[in-house]
Amino acid sequence: MSLRVPTEQSFSSPLHHPRVATVIGRWLGVAVAVCFLTGLFSHLQQSGPGWLFIPTRPASLYRVTQGLHVLSGTMAVPLLLAKLWTVYPKLFARPPWPPSRKAAGMIVERLSILVLVSALALELFTGFLNTLQWYPWPFPFRQTHYALAWIIVGALLVHLAIKFPLITSHWRGTAADREASQGTGLSRRSMFRAVAGAGALVGIASVGQSAPVLGSIAVLAPRKPGIGPQGLPVNRTARDAGVTAVDADWRLTVRGPKQLEYSLDELRALPQNRSALPIACVEGWSQGARWEGVRIRDLLALCGAPMSSRVRVISMEQDGFYTTSELPPQFAADPLTLLALRLNGSDLDLDHGFPARIIAPNRPGVLQTKWVHRLEVLP
């Protein structure tokens, strides 16, 4: 038996045709673009650069963008696999010999594809594991995820530029394309249906984590709507956060022009307001809930601070990524932003941040700080 290294021509299926790569590439391109833009929005919200004004409306904006982020990333996985299958015979194409400008171009192209594919595969894989709240690696997830996103965008632009002539000539199916697709085996149309079907299937199996109507079939969703204390999922329990029962000498401190201190009963005696707002976790799950508590703007007024103040929120949790957060002025002043004491009609469960937590519109879950015991008005 002789072993022969295959050449590009050894793969005769018409499904390796550039027209197939173009069609699947378009779908993957849409998924990557949606994922990138929504991810950028999430990153900017969390890093909060001073120059950026984030509106507080629509109140559910972040819920939608982050739901789309996780959905498009998840759906990109089968699309990427299909795209790779379509083009892998190219791996066996021999560079022209002797070395020429064409060969050099081919090497640059190969390198850009190597970077693109490895960065995208790593991004999608670690991103998906992150939705499962599994961090089996030593590097900081968010920074790495963000850096990889830019590498992907850069490599993708190079890839699109190199392939531009091929993409434009196969953007529409031509008679020659259809001719080339005649063959035995799976038809091109069946392949497109199968790939689109696989994308739709993983989408439907995960979208229920942010669209409760589909919650019951969300087998890929680690968090199911409605499941958790007070009918709301918990991201980090009090126990994991090292927060134990809160006793009677608990006080909320508000530090502004005046320094104020409130016991829980005193907070309950202040004017109470209601907000219907979602928790929208960066990991993709989200759910609306009914909150009740004291408006942050009322606390600003009570401590003599101007309405346009930035507020730092400090948790009783000692160490962890989310022990503090900041409310930019438009968030602190928004009438929907509460120091919530109640959820869905009863006192907060300890896991949801008892005795007091932040809830604000259009805000990533990571910034909805639980177990708040101190507010500081920033100069």
Ligand X SMILES: Nc1nc2c(c(=O)[nH]1)N[C@H]1C(S)=C(S)[C@@H](COP(=O)(O)O)O[C@H]1N2
Query: Which listed residue (19, 145, 159, 370) binds ligand X by CB under 6 A?
Result: 370
Comparing CA positions, the residue from 197, 112, 196, 216 lying closest to residue 156 is 112
Answer yes or no whether residue 352 interacts with ligand X by CB under 6 A.
yes
d(CA 219, CA 204): 9
Cβ contact 221:285 at 8 Å: yes
Cβ contact 210:63 at 8 Å: yes
Answer yes or no whether residue 365 interacts with Mo ion by CB under 5 A.
yes
Answer yes or no whether residue 340 interacts with ligand X by CB under 6 A.
no
Answer yes or no whether residue 284 interacts with ligand X by CB under 6 A.
no
The one segment of 15-23, 207-215, 226-234, 266-274 that binds ligand X by CB under 6 A: 226-234
The one segment of 68-76, 137-145, 246-254, 366-374 that binds ligand X by CB under 6 A: 366-374
Cβ contact 7:93 at 8 Å: yes
Q: Which does 13 bind (CB under 5 to 8 A by kind): Mo ion, ligand X, none?
A: none
Give residues 268-287 in contact with Mo ion (rule: CB under 5 A). 281
Helix axes 101-131, 61-87, angle to 10 degrees: 140
Tokens matching residue 159: 């890839």
For 89-104, the DSSP string reads GGGGPPPPSS--HHHH
Answer yes or no whether residue 268 interacts with ligand X by CB under 6 A.
no
Query: Is the bond into 58 cis (omega within 30 degrees of 0)?
Result: yes
Give residues 210-249 in contact with Mo ion (rule: CB under 5 A). 235
DSSP structural state of residue 349:
P
Which residues fall within 8 angstroms of residue 374, CB to CB, at 6 or more apart? Answer: 252, 253, 254, 255, 313, 314
Answer yes or no whether residue 241 interacts with ligand X by CB under 6 A.
yes
Residue nearest to ligand X (CB): 365
Answer yes or no whether residue 322 interacts with ligand X by CB under 6 A.
yes
Query: Which listed residue (118, 187, 323, 330) binds ligand X by CB under 6 A?
Result: 323
Answer yes or no whether residue 127 interacts with ligand X by CB under 6 A.
no
Query: Which listed residue (55, 99, 242, 320) binds ligand X by CB under 6 A?
Result: 320
Residue nearest to Mo ion (CB): 281
* Nearest approach, Cβ of residue 365 and ligand X (Å): 3
Q: How many chain residues are in contact with ligand X, going by CB under 6 A?
A: 21
d(CA 367, CA 142): 14
Residue numbers at the binding site for Mo ion (CB under 5 A): 235, 281, 365-366
